[in-house]
Chain A
Amino acid sequence: MLSVDNIELFYGQVHAVKGVSLTVNAGEIVTLIGANGAGKSSTLKAISGVHPTKAGSITFRGEPLQSLPAHAIVGRGISHCPEGRRIFYELTVRENLLMGGFLLSGTTALERLETVMELFPRLRERLTQLGGTLSGGEQQMLAIGRALMSNPALLMLDEPSLGLAPLVVEKIFQRVVELNQGGLTVLLVEQNAHIALGISHRAYVLETGRVILSGQSADLALDERVQKAYLGG
Chain B
Amino acid sequence: MFLQHLLNGVTIGSSYALIALGYTLVYGVLKLINFAHGEIYMIGAYLGFILISLIPTLPPSLQGNVVLLLLCVMLLAALLCALYGYYLERICYKPLRNAPRLSPLISALGASLFLQNFVMITMGARDKIFPQLLKSATITLGGVSFTWLQVAIIASSLLLMAGLSLFINHTKFGTAIRAVSSDPYMAGLLGINVDSVISLTFMAGSFLAACAGVMIGVYYGTINFTLGYLGGIKAFTAAVLGGIGSVGGAMVGGLLLGIIEALGAGYFSSEYKDVYAFFILIGVLILKPSGLLGRKSHERA
A81 nearest in chain B by CB position = B189
Contacts of A117 in B (CB 8 A): none
> For the complex, what is the distance from the CA of A103 to the CA of B190, rounded to whole Å?
8
> For the complex, what is the distance from the CA of A95 to the CA of B178, rounded to whole Å?
10
B252 interface residue per 8 A CB criterion: no
A82 interface residue per 8 A CB criterion: yes
Contact between chains at B175 and A98 (CB < 8 Å): yes
9-residue interface stretch from B4-12, B57-65, B191-199? B191-199
B170 nearest in chain A by CB position = A95
Contact between chains at B191 and A103 (CB < 8 Å): yes
Which chain B residues numbered 173 to 198 have a C-beta less than 8 Å away from chain A?
175-176, 178-179, 181-183, 185-194
A82, A102, A146 interface centre (most CB from chain B within 10 Å):
A102
Contact between chains at B191 and A86 (CB < 8 Å): no
> For the complex, what is the distance from the CA of A99 to the CA of B175, rounded to whole Å?
8
B175 nearest in chain A by CB position = A95
Interface size of B by Cβ–Cβ distance < 8 Å?
22
A42 interface residue per 8 A CB criterion: no
A153 interface residue per 8 A CB criterion: no
> For the complex, what is the distance from the CA of A69 to the CA of B184, rounded to whole Å?
14
A171 interface residue per 8 A CB criterion: no
Q: A74 and B298 in contact (CB under 8 A), knowing A88-B179, A102-B172? A: no
> For the complex, what is the distance from the CA of A90 to the CA of B243, rounded to whole Å?
15
Contact between chains at A102 and B183 (CB < 8 Å): no
Q: A88 and B191 in contact (CB under 8 A), knowing A95-B175, A102-B172? A: no
A59 CB to closest chain B CB, in angstroms? Answer: 20
Contacts of B135 in A (CB 8 A): none
Contact between chains at B187 and A89 (CB < 8 Å): no
A16 interface residue per 8 A CB criterion: no
Contact between chains at B189 and A99 (CB < 8 Å): no
Q: A88 and B192 in contact (CB under 8 A), knowing A95-B175, A98-B172, A102-B172? A: no
Contacts of B193 in A (CB 8 A): 69, 71
Query: Which one, B186, B194, B295, contacts A88 given CB within 8 A?
Result: B186
B126 interface residue per 8 A CB criterion: no
Contact between chains at B185 and A90 (CB < 8 Å): no
A139 CB to closest chain B CB, in angstroms? Answer: 12
Contacts of A84 in B (CB 8 A): 300-301
Contacts of B182 in A (CB 8 A): 88-91
B186 nearest in chain A by CB position = A86
Contact between chains at B183 and A86 (CB < 8 Å): yes
B188 CB to closest chain A CB, in angstroms? Answer: 5
Contact between chains at B183 and A88 (CB < 8 Å): yes
A41 interface residue per 8 A CB criterion: no
> For the complex, what is the distance from the CA of A62 to the CA of B183, rounded to whole Å?
31
Which chain A residues numbered 51 to 67 have a C-beta less than 8 Å away from chain B?
none
Contacts of A102 in B (CB 8 A): 172, 176, 190-192
Contacts of A75 in B (CB 8 A): 191
> For the complex, what is the distance from the CA of A106 to the CA of B171, rounded to whole Å?
11
B196 nearest in chain A by CB position = A71
A residues lining the B interface (CB < 8 Å): 48, 50, 69-72, 74-75, 80, 82, 84, 86, 88-91, 95, 98-100, 102-103, 106, 132, 146, 149-150
Other contacts beyond A99-B190, A99-B192, A100-B190: 18, CB < 8 A: A48-B189, A50-B189, A69-B188, A69-B193, A71-B188, A71-B189, A71-B190, A71-B191, A75-B191, A86-B183, A86-B186, A86-B300, A88-B178, A90-B178, A90-B182, A95-B178, A99-B175, A149-B190
List 29 interface pairs A-B (beta carbons < 8 Å), by A numbering: A50-B185, A50-B188, A69-B188, A70-B188, A70-B189, A71-B191, A71-B192, A72-B191, A74-B190, A75-B191, A80-B189, A84-B301, A86-B186, A86-B300, A88-B183, A91-B178, A91-B179, A91-B182, A95-B178, A98-B172, A98-B175, A99-B175, A99-B187, A99-B190, A99-B192, A102-B192, A103-B191, A132-B298, A146-B190
B residues lining the A interface (CB < 8 Å): 172, 175-176, 178-179, 181-183, 185-194, 295, 298, 300-301
